[in-house]
Structure 1
Amino acid sequence: MKDFYDTLYGKALGGRHGPLLVDLWREILRLAEKHSEGRDLQVCDQLTLEFLHDLREVEAEDWRQMCWGLGPTVYGAVGLSWCRGVDLAMVWQDWEASGFPILPDARHMRPARLLNPELMPVTESLQSIAQISRGNLVAFCAIVAFSEGRIFIDVPESDLARLPTHAQSLVEVCSRPRSSSANSSGFGSVVAT
């Protein structure tokens, strides 16, 4: 881990020797709860991001083992995205295990927006998101929520109609106006999940 005294947590504790991973996890969850209550939203987001940045020095397997020992949470999966040696498949697996839905509201979209941007695919195409997510509905919805306002609908209406209702609503909330060049190659296996 980087020099502990340079981390937000190290500063907050006044120099206690090294944060335990469980302490970081607990603080991230506490801030999520405070955020969901509508209190100090900007402060919660800023502090959460600072704690998540501290996880860059943590091995993915160490974080993951601790999270699974405590019980999978969506914020454990978000934290995993910031760890060293992670891949997106691990993040989606842990997110699915948490059971946390991605619905079109601020509380449910917040975790997706806190995912490590260096790990996330860069695309504005809904069709590309469908291909990247490889049939994983959690991955599809998380990438859509992460990309809010930047994606365009470039698939036929018939493919959108085959998505689960919450995913359709999420796409509607997070997308720019429909592209007139929507092609027929569509979603493929995303709707199969």
Structure 2
Amino acid sequence: MSNLDDLLKKYNADLTRFRGLNIVSMPVSCSNKLDIGFSRKENRRLGAILPKFARKQIASGLYVFGADVDRWHSQLTKDEELCAALRLLLSYAYRIEWAGSSVTARVNNMAVNITGDASRGDLFLATLSNVSKRLAIFCNDEKVLMNSSGGSSWGPATIRKVLLFASFVAPLVLLLVFHYLTSNLRAR
């Protein structure tokens, strides 16, 4: 793994491993508060239930989602180099998230290995670096910033954090409710 570690240092990337999940993060020169995700799937059901989180197509087979997407959609659609890079990354990762000052690729290691191609991970990290640079250009674009409403924090990264927190709190709440109900039944 020293080759991958050297590549991570070269591209200024961080790799976090959790069981079969590899999370590769790279900094983006951006000070705006935003939370946007990129995916290959449209997911119409979620868009029908929560229209604010409907996925919008930016290229063939490439969708962007998050509550803050409206101000970025037209600019992202015009950048063919970014769309091509995102398509390549999404052949490795199942989702890419752009949350403020970092872009993160979530790779299911059971399906695809980052170092499994001929470049031994260099293609993946170079493409992620290219995406990071292209997103930094958008973040500092005056036309996009003028359309900004201050940014919405409800995007894929924030929702994932809230669900993770809820998964820890919900069992505790259920245990307290069960304890309350059983103690009241004994008191009668």
TM-score tier, shorter chain, comes to under 0.3
Greater relative contact order (Cα < 8 A, sep 6+): 2
Give the structure with higher Rg (CA): 2
Greater share of helix residues, 1 or 2?
Answer: 1
TM-score (norm 2): 0.20
